[in-house]
């Protein structure tokens, strides 16, 4: 995005900050990530004034949590637990109203919360929490729908919910800015299939047609019967080749809501991949080799508890563990209704494995040799 990378992160006690001579516009661009835009708030109280005050207070606290998860790599999410008591009001820089409605006892709005960039940086560096604030180069994301049966799917330009949910996300202030574009008529199905198969040669076609450095397909497939939504990311982003897939159960037949959830998680996957790439770059490619401040590293063997909510989710997670390149000597121990004890061997140990899982949209966190794997960001 800029010739001068803009990162602030804490690694082994060192803080990287903006150089004094860096142009003001670069600082302004970096500070965009400290705004959480289009954030929904809602509250009910004894009167309209009290309802609005409660919605603002609860909203800014929740928005601060969302901001911290935006900036902090998933490998350090456990370090955010002791920051839950932090009062967001002390870090707010401004609030803008996008839309609002109220009654005598209820307030509903969509707000933009801007936080003080320097204060947030100071908070995270003081607590020794790694963070990334450098935005990735803008990429093009093309929503696509898949229809038909496995083995004979047809891909079409998305319309309706899958196209709209992306436009409802905060695509400007995220660490991975996205421009949503429609599927061009010149992009044929074989190009999409090639991207799904990990063929990076199609990227030259895509970048040429969309006049962008990075292009991704976000493919939604509602399974027959409408009980499951499959979402696939395929293409290349600023972190490299993408081939990621996740299935979502459709609750109460509400496909639209499930698509909203899927889009939010998919955006988190893109941010997670970028954070891992920037941390690896900052550490000279040695991310996950004993410099993460508190994580167990080295040795290759990783013991973890795999958390899930259903047998289907456990089967999905188990398959993704077994399919992850580099994983060896997988041993599955006790499997209960909600967790499974698993040990694997992986080059670089737990931190390197955490980075690899992060690229797949999974979260592996741990401290003192104890690791937990779960879905989502």
Q: Is the pLDDT of residue 50 over 60?
A: yes
Pairing of strands 301-307, 370-375: parallel
- pTM of the predicted protein model: 0.71
More confident residue, 12 or 216: 216
Q: What was the pLDDT predicted at 284?
A: 58
39 neighbors 111 (Cβ within 8 angstroms): yes
Q: What distance in Å separates the CA atoms of residue 135 and residue 68, rounded to the nearest whole number?
A: 15
Q: What was the pLDDT predicted at 133?
A: 94
Q: What was the pLDDT predicted at 30?
A: 53
* Same-fold call for 139-282 versus 301-375: no
Residue-by-residue DSSP string for 110-161: EEEEEE-HHHHHHHHHHTT-----PPPPPEEEEEEEEESSTTS-EEEE--TH
* DSSP summary character for residue 195: H
326 neighbors 345 (Cβ within 8 angstroms): no
Mapped onto helix, strand or coil, the DSSP state of residue 81 is: helix
Q: What was the pLDDT predicted at 324?
A: 83
Q: What was the pLDDT predicted at 31?
A: 74
Q: What distance in Å separates the CA atoms of residue 112 and residue 39, rounded to the nearest whole number?
A: 6
376 neighbors 324 (Cβ within 8 angstroms): no
Domain ranges of the chain: 10-126, 139-282, 301-375
* Nearest CA among 267, 115, 246 for reference residue 177: 267
Q: Is the pLDDT of residue 283 over 70?
A: no
Q: Is the pLDDT of residue 96 over 70?
A: yes
CATH for 301-375 is 3.30.70
Instruction: State mean pLDDT over 203-208.
Output: 92
The fold of the 139-282 domain, in CATH, is Rossmann fold (3.40.50)
Burial class (CB in 10 A: 0-12, 13-18, 19+), 97: exposed
- Tens digits of residue pLDDT in 311-365: 888 888 988 888 887 787 788 877 888 888 888 888 778 888 888 888 788 888 8
């Amino acid at each position: 995005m800029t010739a001068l990378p803009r990162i602030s992160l804490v690694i082994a006690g060192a803080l990287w900050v903006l150089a004094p001579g860096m142009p003001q516009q670069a600082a302004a661009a970096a500070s965009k990530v400290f705004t959480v835009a289009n954030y929904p708030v809602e509250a009910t109280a004894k009167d309209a004034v009290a309802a609005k005050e409660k919605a603002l207070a609860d909203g800014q606290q929740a928005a601060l949590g969302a901001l911290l998860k935006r900036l902090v790599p998933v490998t350090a999410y456990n370090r955010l637990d002791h920051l839950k008591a932090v009062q967001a009001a002390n870090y707010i820089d401004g609030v803008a109203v996008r839309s609002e409605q109220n009654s005598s006892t209820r307030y509903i709005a969509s707000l933009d919360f801007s936080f003080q960039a320097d204060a947030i940086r100071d908070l995270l560096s003081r607590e020794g929490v790694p963070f990334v604030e450098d935005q990735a180069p803008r990429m093009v994301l093309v929503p696509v729908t898949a229809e038909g049966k496995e083995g004979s799917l047809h891909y079409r330009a998305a319309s309706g919910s899958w196209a709209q949910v992306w436009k409802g996300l905060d695509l400007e202030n995220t660490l991975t800015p996205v421009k949503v574009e429609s599927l061009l008529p010149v992009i044929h199905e074989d190009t999409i299939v090639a991207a799904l198969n990990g063929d990076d040669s199609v990227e030259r076609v895509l970048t040429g047609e969309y006049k962008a450095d990075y292009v991704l397909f976000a493919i939604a497939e509602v399974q027959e019967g409408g009980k499951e939504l499959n979402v696939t990311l395929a293409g290349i982003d600023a972190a490299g080749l993408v081939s990621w897939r996740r299935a979502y159960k459709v609750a109460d037949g509400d496909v639209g809501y499930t698509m909203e959830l899927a889009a939010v998680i998919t955006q988190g996957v893109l941010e997670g991949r970028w954070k891992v790439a920037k941390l690896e770059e900052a550490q000279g490619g040695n991310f996950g080799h004993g410099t993460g401040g508190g994580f167990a590293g080295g040795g290759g063997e990783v013991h973890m508890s795999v958390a899930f909510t259903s047998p289907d989710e456990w089967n999905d997670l188990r398959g993704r563990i077994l399919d992850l390149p580099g994983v060896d000597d997988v041993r599955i121990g006790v499997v209960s209704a909600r967790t499974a004890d698993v040990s694997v061997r992986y080059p670089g140990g737990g931190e390197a494995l955490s980075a690899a899982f992060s690229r797949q949209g999974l979260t592996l966190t741990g401290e003192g040799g104890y690791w937990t794997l779960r879905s989502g960001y």
